[in-house]
Amino acid sequence: MNELQLLLLSAVSLGFIHTLLGPDHYLPFIVLSRARKWSQAKTLWITFISGVGHVLGSVVLGIAGIAMGISLNKLENIEANRGELVGWLLIAFGLGYTVYGVVKFIKKGGHTHLPSFLVPRKIKQLQHLPESEEEHRKKDTSNLTPWILFLIFVFGPCEVLIPLLIFPAAEYNAMGIALVSLVFGLATILTMLAVVFIGYKGTSLLRFKKGERYWHMIAGLIILFAGIGMQFMGW
């Protein structure tokens, strides 16, 4: 086995491991698919597009750095800054979505568990009519949630890609860089899709009708926790 083959094997291993050990790579898709009642196909498509953006961001940065002769230390600093930015973006998104979930909870009847003085008059007057899954999906078609996820993942760095894969591959040729990037990207995206698929199937087995109104809050809190983990716990 030559050095390039070892490098490609490393790309597969690192793509799988760094994705699996980073809950921020899949938890947002799993919880939002349940909260927003996305179909399996829509959930996996959003995951796929976000994964492509996630990998391409670091690939483009790495290749541009090689072309312009930027040092590895500088590229690593850029990736570190991107990681910090994404951590804060996830925290902001999780916090905002949690607030959204609280509002949805109140509108769906959660106000019955709150003191009367905390409930706005307009919400007290709402008629809580049941909403079918089809109606929810029609209302959900123009929302910004998938685009927000995509943009967050585009900014998200693949920390192991530049120092461990692209720079060693540069010792070979452009084909070596392309192969390593492709293999790493496929390993990352396929791992994301596999974990999200398992999570989607798992959450779909949870059947508690009264708990449906909590899902937006749950989704927001989990995304918030993922952001905190990425920002302060080194996920």
Total domains in the fold of the chain: 1
Structure tokens at 178: 């392309």
What's the confidence (pLDDT) of residue 232? 79
Q: Is residue 235 part of a domain?
A: no
What pLDDT is attached to residue 74? 84
Segment 42-98, tens digit of pLDDT = 999 999 999 999 999 888 888 888 778 777 788 888 888 888 888 899 999 999 999
The pLDDT averaged over each successive group of 10 residues in the chain (235 residues) is 82 92 91 91 96 90 80 82 88 92 74 49 47 50 78 85 74 80 94 96 75 81 89 73
* Residue 101 counted as domain residue: no
Burial class (CB in 10 A: 0-12, 13-18, 19+), 171: exposed
Q: Half-sphere exposure of 129 toward its Cβ, with a 13 Å CA cutoff?
A: 5
pLDDT of 158 reads: 81
| SS3 of residue 204 by DSSP | helix
Q: Please indicate, yes or no, if residue 61 is contained in any of the structural domains.
A: yes
19 located within any domain: no
Position 75, amino acid: L
Within a domain: residue 55?
yes
pLDDT of residue 55: 92
Q: Check: CB of residue 211 under 8 Å from CB of residue 38.
A: no
- Whether 191 is covered by a domain: the verdict is yes
Predicted TM-score (pTM) of the model is 0.80
Domain span at 80 = 3-12+24-91+144-205
The pLDDT value recorded for residue 69 is: 76
SS3 26: coil
pLDDT at 104: 80
Considering the domain boundaries, does residue 232 fall inside one? Answer: no
Structural domain includes residue 56: yes
